[in-house]
Chain A
Amino acid sequence: MSDSALRSWLLSDTPDSRRQAAWGRAYRSWLRFRVNPLGMAGLVIVVALLIASLAAPLLAVQSPDVQHLTLRLAPPSAAHWFGTDELGRDLYSRVLYGGRITLGMVLTVVVLVTPIGLVVGALAGYLGGMADRILMRITDIFLSIPQLILALAFVAALKPGVTSAVIAIALTSWPPIARLARADALTIRGTDFVAAIGITGASRMRIVFRHILPLCLPSVIVRITLDMSGIILTAAGLGFLGMGAQPPTPEWGTMIAATRGYILQQWWVPTIPGIAILFASLAFNLLGDGLRDVLDPKQT
């Protein structure tokens, strides 16, 4: 299909199938998103980081664990673009592989947290009454504990490592999502169209999962994208405190922690993973802002 044929298929006023209608709707959102330079910058950086992490074995010049003790703390050069760390490992390769760990943790948290938050929030908001009270009190308990502290306590109780860090962050990230989804569900449940669906004889679960959840999704997507930068910082923070990924795993936070003593003499060694963290969290923030403009529920 040629470009213009595809375009007119997407923008057709009279789609021939639900699939075409859904794609057309997505394409219109993309057209709105594309004109936002900051959002696009965020998207480009996020996609670049994801590709770089996935293609790390192809892009890296050497294994992230190979040590050259004669080449310790070398400054950036043609052979080692970002220099080397305290054990002579190539920093460029380690940052690439570290992206796999850090971004992998973030994506796992998102995959765990989004469905839980959405379902808890939508059920509480739609069912109301006792179900709402019980679900929201549970949410409040998790919400009342500062995120990093609960994560620290949790990881300290378990074995420090990537898995425990992911579980710890996930435990503390779902309550805001649930709150948001509940607020949306509360406004949606009073509308005529929900009453109309109820009158067709739909069960309450069908109404929640097929009709209310999809409407809570846009604001949750925006929120979770904005939260991702916070999740990156928490993951790196746990790594820095020795509660996340353990050395020699090339996780960005762990890398900073291991080399923080060299900040004055060989500043690039801890700074480069720091820049990676900065870019990743900034990019997710910009992307989230851009998505908010497109997915804002107030625009039809």
Chain B
Amino acid sequence: MTDVAIEIADLRVSLSGTEVVHGVSFAVPKGSNFGLVGESGSGKSTILRTLVGLNVSWSGAMRLGGFELRYHRDKAFFRRCQMVFQDPYGSLHPRQTVDRQLSEPLLIHGLSEVDVRIRRALAEVGLPEALRFRYPHQLSGGQRQRVAIARALIAEPEVLLLDEPTSALDVSVQAEVLNLLADLQRARGLTYVMVTHNLAVVAHLCETIGVMQEGVMVECLSTDDLCAGRARHPHTQALRGLSTELEEAPAWKRGAGGEPA
């Protein structure tokens, strides 16, 4: 049991009375990456939000490191599991400096050496210390997402839930943030559960992929299988087809003499 970070069995979630996730089960081994992909509205973000305690109307079983999760999450849970939101423009408090936002988790969990930890956290996510006392509106989107990642990691959790962490960012910044996440995982042995609709992102970072369609996990396969085209479910094949089409589009445009995208 100890080598499983997250285990979800027959999870059903309702949002304002309508069931949107219909019995999803999966397990994520410690130190690995699990990707949840699917179209908008397929329930993938809902699973993450439920896991971290933001939705309360659910049934089924969820375990974090072998511990059964209840409806009410305590501080100890938040120490072990953190989440990064999709929109870095909405996930930082607009009237607090970076320093204040990073110190908040430390104060809540009663951790010492606040100053040292904040400096280390900024360095880890590759932010210069000059930004430490800036307000979010003085930062770029990529910098904001780095702050959000630093905030999630500052209390040293084991599991990080990523809700489309790069979709609100510029393409060039996306790659930087993904590489940062990969580096952090290697350094800290983190477990990631990542929600995205971009198959290229999942393929870059995750070993296992769960494909969601209309609240059901239609297929769970390894990235190697996906890349080799061994997907069995038609929805997975359709998603894969779409993303390869998109990837090939720039090459086709280049051939026609257009600017590379």
Is B63 positioned at the interface, with any CB of A under 8 Å from its CB?
Answer: no
Distance to closest chain A CB from B244 (angstroms)? 32
Given A18-B97, A192-B90, A193-B91, A13-B104 contact (CB < 8 Å) = no
Contact status A199-B53, CB under 8 Å:
yes
Q: Chain A's nearest CB lies how many Å from the CB of B15?
A: 13
B78 within 8 Å of A by Cβ?
Answer: yes
- Chain A residues touching B, majority SS: helix
Q: Which of A20, A195, A201, A206 contacts B133 (CB 8 A)?
A: A20
For A199, the chain B residues whose CB sits under 8 A away are 52-54, 78, 82-83
Q: Which residues on B sit within 8 Å (CB–CB) of A20?
A: 133
Alpha-carbon distance between A35 and B104 when the two chains are bound, in angstroms:
36
A197 touches B93 (CB 8 A): yes
Question: How far is B134's CA from A15's CA once the two chains are assembled, in angstroms?
Answer: 7
In the complex, residue of chain B having the shortest beta-carbon distance to the beta carbon of A22: B97
Interface range on chain A: under 10, 10 to 19, 20 to 34, or 35 or more? 20 to 34
Determine if A200 and B133 form an interchain contact, defined as CB atoms under 8 angstroms apart: no
Across the interface, which residues of B come within 8 angstroms of A200, CB to CB?
A: 78, 82, 104-105, 108, 151, 155
Q: Does B90 lie within 8 Å of A214, measured CB to CB?
A: no
Q: Which residues of B contact A196 (CB under 8 A)?
A: 83, 85, 91-92, 148, 151
Q: Which residues of A contact B137 (CB under 8 A)?
A: 300
User: With A15-B134, A191-B90, A195-B85 as given contacts, are A201 and B95 in contact (CB-CB < 8 Å)?
Assistant: no
Flag whether B158 is at the interface (Cβ < 8 A): no
CB distance from A213 to the nearest CB of B (A): 11
Q: List 15 A-B contacts (CB under 8 A).
A: A13-B138, A15-B133, A192-B86, A193-B93, A196-B91, A196-B151, A197-B93, A197-B104, A198-B53, A199-B82, A200-B104, A200-B108, A201-B77, A201-B108, A300-B94
**New A-B contacts (8) at CB < 8 Å, excluding given A18-B97, A18-B133, A193-B94:** A14-B134, A15-B133, A21-B97, A192-B87, A195-B85, A200-B108, A201-B79, A202-B108
